Amino acid sequence: MNDLLLCAPILVAAGTGILVMALDLLSGRDDPRKGFLGVVTAAGLAIAAVLAVTLWPGAPAFEMSFLKGVLIVDGFVAFFSALVLATGAAAALLAVDHLPEQGIEPGAFQTLLAFSATGALAFVAAADLVTMFLGLEVMSLAVYALAASKRSSGFATEAGLKYFVLGGLASAFLLFGVAFLYGATGSLDLAGIAAGLAGGASSAGADRVLPQVALVLLLVAMGFKVAAVPFHFWTPDVYEGAPTPVTAYMAGAVKAAGFAVLSRLILTVYQAPSWGGLPLSPADALLGLAVLTMVVGNVLGVVQDDVKRILAYSSIAHAGYLLLGVWATDPATRALNDGVPFYLLAYVAATVGAFGVVSLLGARGEEDMRLPRLAGLSKRHPVLAAVLLVCVLSLAGIPPFGGFMGKFNLFKAVLAADPASNVTWVVVAVLNSLVALYYYLRILLYAYFREPEVVSGDDVAAAGHAPAIRSAPAWAAIGVAALASLYLGILPGRMMAASGSAASAAVVRPDLSAALAAPAALAPGKSSPAPAPASPTVSRRAAVRDAGRDAARDATRNDRDAARNDRDAAHSRSAAPGTRPPRPPRPSRFAAPPAGGGSGR
Amino acid sequence: MTGIETYALTPFISLTMLIPLAGAVLLALVPGRHGAAHRGLAFVVSVLAFACSLSVWVNFDPARAGFQLVEDRAWLPFGARYTVGVDGISLLLFMLTTFLTPLAILGAFSAIRKRAKEFYIAMLLLEVAMLGTLVAADMLLFYLFWEFMLIPMYLIIGVWGGERRVYAAVKFFLFTFLGSVLMLVGIIWMHLKAGGGSFALVDFLKLDLGFREQAWLFAAFGLAFAIKVPMFPFHTWLPDAHVEAPTAGSVILAGVLLKMGTYGFIRFAIPLFPDAAGAFAVPVMVLAVVGIVYGSLCSFAQGDVKKLVAYSSVAHLGFVMLGMFALTQEAVEGAILQMVNHGISTGALFMLVGVLYERRHTRAIDAYGGIARVMKVYAALLVIVTLSSIGLPGTNGFVGEFLILAGTFREALSGGGAFRAIGLALGIAAATGVVLGAVYMLTMVRKVLFGPIVHEENRALKDVSFREFAVLGALVVMVFWIGVYPSFFLSRTTASVRATLDAYKGRMVEQRTALLRGVDARAEDARAAPSPWRVAAQEVAR
């Protein structure tokens, strides 16, 4: 019973899909009132989101053995699941009146959307790599079909095919990486692999090859899902060609799920900040990806002339900032950087709002969204223009909107992880946001400053005079997105706290408690010579690394197979916050003795 | 700057900010067709805000140096708080903002015809942002308002501006954003340095920063402020923005927004990084004087009245920067007063240009001439405001410029070595700038007002209406009030300025001297060694 309750969000999401399928069959084929299917989908996903945030943080472990080691539910999963489900609900609402205008059949669309969200839940909550792969496939297959759902459009078909082929390739990479990890450690669950790799890290040579190759393969696969450069080539085309509600879903939910799993994989399996002692450290790989992604995304965004493509490049650039956040693991707690979940939240709210406005402009089958089509928007639809203003400025990171607080919080966390050396990358990131501002301003410039060109006759629709779709559900969705952006910018306290607790639960690591509870391991520097006291930054990092490594080695030596039991212990630990070792207060890197302060300058 | 002095019993500061905010929301709810209702409501709201700000003025105690009427509430989990308060440095600018906004709104009644509702919403939100920037005593809160100012101003320039408004709006936004993002990194850096628990200015002031660190942070903050001021090499956005903005936008832009830069220097950059500010003092002063001369010369070359006034802002703000880094009591007080003076005179000048533009739809000086005969009241007002702008005794401009120059000379004469020579040279160059100011302003006035009427259409120009007269009259009253009885205003700033100088001047002068020590040493060497010329001359003579 307990297990059923814990699975309720996933079951509700899946049930929503089945219900919508049944309702679609029961209603007539050409029933004009099919819009209610979207409302049902949205309601179902919203209920699932509420269930996820109420049931999952601090949830007890699964009791039935067939669920143990398959799914994990904790604060981290709850946060990202709710985000994914809310985005799915918003996409369903956006689609209600968008689909008839585009000639898309709503029944199949909404069903696929609900199933995709179900898959995303499994993807995020997976405790072992096979479940993760299954979740990924359920999520992605539905999105491939959704992207191509406008069968009359060559663009949409191209988008679907492109996404399908490249997505299949990414899935293959993921599977290949999983196979290598299994080969290296003999385990498929995250905690077991982590323990296995930590043991392997001490022994030199061939043992490192498999995890190293696996790391590259996994990064490629996840880089594809979150649209990181150089695995981003599909993004602009697919975002542009797919129906806009689907684009909103891809840019929001798929990216959020991708980042959840990426962080979990990288942090759990490769154990930041020790990173398993690989030749190509995951840290270097992530940093390289992050910088490349934000620079390329922003620079290419500048030269685009289509709103959907601009937003696509913007979503690539945001992946860059987020990768920087994942890279800058807090060395003290070894948990996910607590700016990342909040940043995703703010980003998703703004992106969904912006794509939502675009989807409302796509009336009468018009999906061509070149910038001039926005001209005069603020005159024709002042409220839509205002929503676009809020969302786009939020994406640009201008206060008082959520995007600013997201950027601020993320950069603060990145700097806090290691002020002296990370300041370079933070400066790179803020200068990138300056570049990004240019293309965001271009959107607003057309929406607010330009008058539509005067044209006659049939060109009216093409020139941007086509009225926006009247759709109460979609207006509700974008209204919530805009208000959320404002709320996150002015009173972000609650959500930041939620983000912090989600981040602290990001790592599935049975040995964490051992490492933190055994300060004795800190005393003698074992593998590395004791660093000079003049550099406390280095010494603390090394100490933490050694502690983690030693503890993990002990765990492996005792009994590698016992990892499974350890994981159960981890579940119960995450269940009852009281039993978890208290998160140590974040040591300020600046609080070092004055002698060592010199290294920070 | 000595921390927080008194807490507010009644949150007058927040109320002053809340009134325009509520007004903006209210305006959004009034349906679009009622143009008169919108502007009337906006004007009433901004007057109410001014009335509320008067209570801040009345309750302000001039004897105290630190923040007064402070309101402090928890805001964000990681230590950022809603802390607002005024001190002698921000009080005058706070009042200037609430004073200018209703006048700008009143002045826009006839000029803004399209989408009036949105315009007044933007104006009121801009007022909130400006007030917030001036009163924030929490760095994150300050940054929030500082950046938020850009959005309404961007829209005001871009939607209601002139022909090249889109270019000007984007340039304005990008330039100012470039400066401020690096400041954000600096703020986060200091937050972490302070232990990661606070963004309060008073906590940041207690930090003990090394010189290199200060230099980087000063560069980050200084760039943000220097772009806003704008100081000489960063000024290129200003003529575009000023010229393309609608009259009300120009008034607020010149009147208040530019002061945010100079305010930022005296409030943040100098007290937070005194060593770096001291080391940079001479370069900043040089740039300020270059700005004065360059701005004056550019003004002289303009054929467009609005552009002329825009470049004159570069020159006037140069005076403010010079006074601020001269570091004497009278110079800094003069700089603060000069910020207000510039807001009033330049605001009035932009209004006057707007009056002409509304009638003739051109800003070219050539298009006018002799209009003193048809617009008598207008001519009188323009002459008064011009004289105030060039600093005639009896008007406000004189007080500010005199104090700044006197302070600069006194600091130069009291300083030793190379600074003495540099300071004197800078003071003399700046004083020349005053003369140049008179040249271009009076030339403009002569060409516009006097001489024969060349263009026939100018014969039919209507003199200022009652509404326009009310706006300009209020500004002219302030011109004379500050000009005749400046101590009424200056006395409010004295305590805060003295506390700031007492706390930081010593360190700054030390660094300034250290920077110039190389120059001094070389001068010593040169004095000791025989001049090569003399040696050569002796060779030749032999």
B331 alpha carbon, distance to own chain's centre: 15
**CA A296/CA B412 separation, integer angstroms:** 52
Per the structure block, which two tokens stand in for A540?
């603390």
Phi, psi torsion values for A230, nearest 5 degrees: -95, 30
Name the more confident of A545 and B201. B201
The CA–CA distances, whole Å, from B521 to A60, B102, B515, B517 equal: 76, 56, 11, 6
Directed axis angle between helix B305-326 and helix B237-244, to 10°?
A: 130
Please check whether residue A379 touches B, CB under 8 A.
Answer: yes
Which secondary structure element, helix H or strand E, spans residue B82, and what is its range?
Answer: strand B81-86
B77, closest residue in chain A (CA to CA): A493
Residue B163 lies in a domain: no
> Quick one: which of A96, A468, A436, A115 has its CA closest to A296?
A436
The CA–CA distances, whole Å, from B241 to A183, A333, B164, B176, B305 equal: 64, 49, 9, 12, 14
Residue B76 lies in a domain: no
What is the pLDDT at residue A350? Answer: 96
What is the pLDDT at residue A558? Answer: 43
Confidence of residue B324 (pLDDT cuts 50, 70, 90): very high
| ipTM for the whole complex | 0.87
**CA A235/CA A311 separation, integer angstroms:** 10
Contacts of residue A448 in chain B, CB cutoff 8 Å?
155, 158-159
**CA B424/CA B401 separation, integer angstroms:** 16
What is the pLDDT at residue A200? Answer: 58
B135 alpha carbon, distance to own chain's centre: 15
Partner residue opposite A400 with nearest CB, options B115, B144, B154: B144
- Per the document, the length of chain B is 542
* Interchain CB distance below 8 Å, A445 and B118: no
Residue B60 lies in a domain: no
Please check whether residue A303 touches B, CB under 8 A.
Answer: no
Partner residue opposite A412 with nearest CB, options B177, B182, B191: B191
**CA B334/CA B338 separation, integer angstroms:** 6
Kindly report, residue by residue over A475-508, the tens digit of the pLDDT: 999 999 999 999 999 999 889 999 988 888 888 7
| Side-chain-side CA neighbours of residue A307 (13 Å) | 30
**CA A479/CA A391 separation, integer angstroms:** 10
Average pLDDT along chain A, 601 residues, taken 10 residues at a time: 84 94 83 83 94 84 75 90 95 91 88 95 91 94 92 86 93 93 86 76 60 89 91 91 93 94 86 65 88 93 91 95 89 80 95 93 74 85 91 93 93 88 91 92 89 58 62 92 94 90 79 38 37 38 42 42 42 41 45 40 33
Partner residue opposite B188 with nearest CB, options A399, A411, A589: A411
Give every CB contact of residue B65 below 8 A, 6+ residues apart in sequence: B1, B2, B5, B87, B88, B495, B496, B498, B499, B500
- Give chain B's mean pLDDT: 90
Partner residue opposite A430 with nearest CB, options B151, B166, B185: B185
| Side-chain-side CA neighbours of residue A565 (13 Å) | 7
What is the pLDDT at residue A583? Answer: 44
Residue B439 lies in a domain: yes
Please check whether residue B78 touches A, CB under 8 A.
Answer: yes
Partner residue opposite A415 with nearest CB, options B75, B140, B188: B188
* Three-class HEC string of A265-295: HHHHHHCCCCHHHCCCCHHHHHHHHHHHHHH
The nearest CA of chain A is from the CA of B536 a distance in Å of 50
The nearest CA of chain B is from the CA of A127 a distance in Å of 32
Please check whether residue A446 touches B, CB under 8 A.
Answer: no
Please check whether residue B195 touches A, CB under 8 A.
Answer: yes
Per the structure block, which two tokens stand in for B226?
């220097």
Residue B467 lies in a domain: yes
* Interchain CB distance below 8 Å, A590 and B181: no
Kindly report, residue by residue over A138-189, the tens digit of the pLDDT: 999 999 999 998 888 888 888 899 999 999 999 999 999 999 988 888 888 8
> Quick one: which of A265, A257, A323 has its CA closest to A79?
A257
Residue B155 lies in a domain: no
Neighbour tally for B197: CB within 10 Å: 12
The answer to whether the beta carbons of residues B190 and A578 sit under 8 Å apart is no
**CA B91/CA B97 separation, integer angstroms:** 10
Task: Give percent helix, percent strand, percent coil of chain B, each to the nearest 5.
Answer: 80, 5, 20
What is the pLDDT at residue A566? Answer: 43
A601, closest residue in chain B (CA to CA): B213
Residue B514 lies in a domain: yes
* Interchain CB distance below 8 Å, A591 and B166: no
Kindly report, residue by residue over A2-13, the tens digit of the pLDDT: 788 888 999 999
Contacts of residue A399 in chain B, CB cutoff 8 Å?
143-145, 147-148
Please check whether residue B330 touches A, CB under 8 A.
Answer: no
* Interchain CB distance below 8 Å, A416 and B192: yes
B79, closest residue in chain A (CA to CA): A493
* Interchain CB distance below 8 Å, B165 and A449: yes
Please check whether residue B212 touches A, CB under 8 A.
Answer: yes
**CA B346/CA B365 separation, integer angstroms:** 17
Contacts of residue B143 in chain A, CB cutoff 8 Å?
399
Instruction: Specify the residue for token string 């709104």.
Output: B105
**CA B483/CA A536 separation, integer angstroms:** 59
A287 alpha carbon, distance to own chain's centre: 17
**CA B233/CA B227 separation, integer angstroms:** 9
Partner residue opposite B174 with nearest CB, options A379, A438, A601: A438
**CA B382/CA B389 separation, integer angstroms:** 10
| Interface probe with A: pick from B76, B114, B138, most Cβ of A within 10 Å | B76
Number of independent structural domains in chain B? 1
The answer to whether the beta carbons of residues A147 and A246 sit under 8 Å apart is yes
Contacts of residue A404 in chain B, CB cutoff 8 Å?
144, 147
* Interchain CB distance below 8 Å, A434 and B174: yes
Q: Which domain holds residue B392?
A: 328-542
Please check whether residue B537 touches A, CB under 8 A.
Answer: no
Neighbour tally for B456: CB within 10 Å: 7
